Structure 1
Amino acid sequence: MSGGPLEIAGLDEVTERFDAFLIDQFGVLRDGKGPYPGAVDTLMRLKQAGKTIIILSNSGKRSAENDRRLAALGFDRTSWDWFLTSGEVAWRILQKESGQGAGGVSRKCLLVSRDGDTSPLDGLGLERTESGEDADFIMLAASEGDLHPLSFYETLLAPAARRGVPCLCTNPDKIMLTKEGTAFGAGRIAELYEELGGQVRWIGKPFADIYATAREFLGDLPPEKICCIGDSIEHDIAGAAGAGLKSILVTTGILETASDAQRQALFAEHGAMPDFILPAFTWSGR
């Protein structure tokens, strides 16, 4: 977009340009404590405007788990059409590969998740292990970086990396929002695994699989009629650009304290610039 992003005060300024919105969860609709002011109403107004809405999240949990969680926070379940997570995309990929027999998924899986969540593996017929010593496959679905230092994960994963065990990261976010602030996300643990010599397959924003799944749901809708809304230049804005879609950067979430110069540096670093910049996920700035 020549001349840089257009600054807008509310979503009502651009709603008529698009037929569908792919909206990030953390950093746009909510933080680690709950919904942002006005986010519940804004999402409903966008839906009432006749738009197709997919919540597009780098969550290692499957879609149904996130549906329930967002509704429990006070969002109206009718205000989105699908909650698509990287965990859901990965589960579907693994389900397909599991059915292929030879060359499919390894038997013992070391699952790195949060709050004891096993949904990324439920129904896949994999045996769980708690050790990198005997794992055939690693799934990085979430981080407990607010509870454990990075060295905890290094100790857990180093034996698997030495053995060349493949790893699937279903939550590429390097930073996560918690009730206490920010902490390193599952994406940082995946980077650590690569630093230890392991190989990682990445699922979620900004990678292609999650956008292909969303586009399949939207049918033959032209890409110029689809807009992505997110707070991460590395994941949301770069992902939208890679998929040929328009984008809005909200300056809440992980970039809340970033200066304009810092944002510009990130645009250059990731080779992606949003079409619009919005201070927060609000309907109108008037």
Structure 2
Amino acid sequence: MTSPLPSITGLSDLAGRYDAVLSDVWGVVHNGVAAFPTAVEALTEFRKAGGKAVFITNAPRPSGPIVEMLDRLGVHRDAYDAIVSSGDATRVMIEKYRGRNIHHVGPATEDDLLYEGLDVHRTDADHAEVVVVTDLDTDHDNPEMYRDRARQWLARKLPMICANPDRVVEHGDQIIYCGGALGDLYAAMGGMVLMAGKPYQPIYEEAFRLAEVAAGRPLDKSRVLAIGDSVRTDATGAAQFGIDLLFVTGSIHAAELDAFGKPDPQAIADLVAPSRAHMAGFLPRLAW
């Protein structure tokens, strides 16, 4: 059994041990509706103390539009040095289909920038060579609603590129399904699913590179901290990349962990243990 975790009050308790943080965004820095002020403050103070902060997000869009979204939500630019998104990493996968037909699943126009300059043609599934999933079509959908469509993709042996590996995300006071949940369904049915975002290595390698650019020198992984709220993506990704994790319990795992009541450190450790992540601590919300 994993030992209980040390109690910390904020990022300031750990800041001296790390030169950079790779922080999740949705669920850690904002909830899709507004920024978490304590999280913005924590990252800003970390940077004031000389640390570097790179946002690493499974958003299925290039990082440019994400900066604009963060501005609208109240995440000011003093809180981070750079951003890398699953959309950035996914564009490399889509590049091989340049000039060819793809079938898009997700909001009709919201993710257009994912394809900008790639010269792909969005068609129905009967004429496509690959399915590209950014999210479910609406926030009210669930993966089971797509099973019949998935059978059609499978019958044509279409691979799926999933631009957002997240299964669920916090949106205001609700939990909604993301593209990763549809990817899981398709994989369970026997389909081929390709992902580049968290917990996979390409996005971490780019985030680490950006942290080194911001620092102006090489960094040691032992002095880089991941911050995230998902065991499947953030904890597993941190473990596979070989960096420590600060776990935010008050998002998608809030109810099961009683994050804002009397959380049990042993229960938190047990939840994260299958990822093999080394936890530096946990907090219900990121704070300084």
The TM-score, its normalising length taken from structure 2, stands at 0.88
Give the match for residue 245 of structure 1.
243
Separation in structure 2 between the aligned mates of residue 162 and residue 24 of structure 1, nearest angstrom: 36
Is 1:178 the counterpart of 2:183 in the alignment?
no
Structure 1 residues 235, 149: closer, same or farther in 2, change over 3 A?
Answer: closer
Counterpart of 2:115 in 1: which secondary structure? coil
Summarize deviations over 1:137-193 as a string: whole Å, max 9, x none: 111112345232434322333211111111111211111222450122111100111
Kindly state the Cα deviation for residue 136 of structure 1 after the two structures are TM-superposed: 0.5
Give the match's secondary structure for 1:38. helix
Change (3 A) 1:262 1:105: farther
Q: Which residue of 2 aligns with 1:69?
A: 69
1:114–1:252 Cα change, 3 Å: farther
Superposition pairs of residues 129-208 of structure 1, within 5 angstroms: 129=123, 131-144=124-137, 146-179=139-172, 181-208=174-201
Please state how far the C-alpha of 1:88 moved relative to its aligned partner: 0.8
Over 3 Å counting, the alpha-carbon distance change for 1:46 and 1:143 in structure 2 is farther
Q: Give the aligned partner of residue 42 of structure 2.
A: 42
Q: Deviations over 1:120-147 (max 9, x none)?
A: 1111110011x22221111111234523
Whichever residue aligns with residue 132 of structure 1, its letter is: A
CA offset at residue 281 of structure 1? 0.9
Q: Would you say how many aligned residue pairs link Structure 1 and Structure 2? A: 274
Please list every run of 5 or more consecutive structure 2 residues that lacks an aligned counterpart in the other structure: 213-217, 258-263
Q: What amino acid is the match of 2:275? A: H
Matched with 2:83 is 83
Between the aligned partners of 1:193 and 1:230, the Cα distance in structure 2 is: 26
SS at match of 1:253: coil
Deviation, 1:47, is 1.8
Q: Which runs of 5+ in 1 are unaligned?
A: 99-103
Identity %: 27
Higher helix residue share: 2
- Which residue of 2 is the match for residue 282 of structure 1? 287
Note closer, same or farther for the CA distance 1:156–1:12 as it changes in structure 2 (3 Å cut).
same
Task: Give the one of 254, 257, 260 matched to 1:256.
Answer: 254
Write the letter of the residue equivalent to 1:269.
P
Once superposed, which parts of structure 1, at least 4 consecutive aligned residues long, lie more than 6 Å away?
none
Q: Does 1:216 find its partner at 2:209?
A: yes
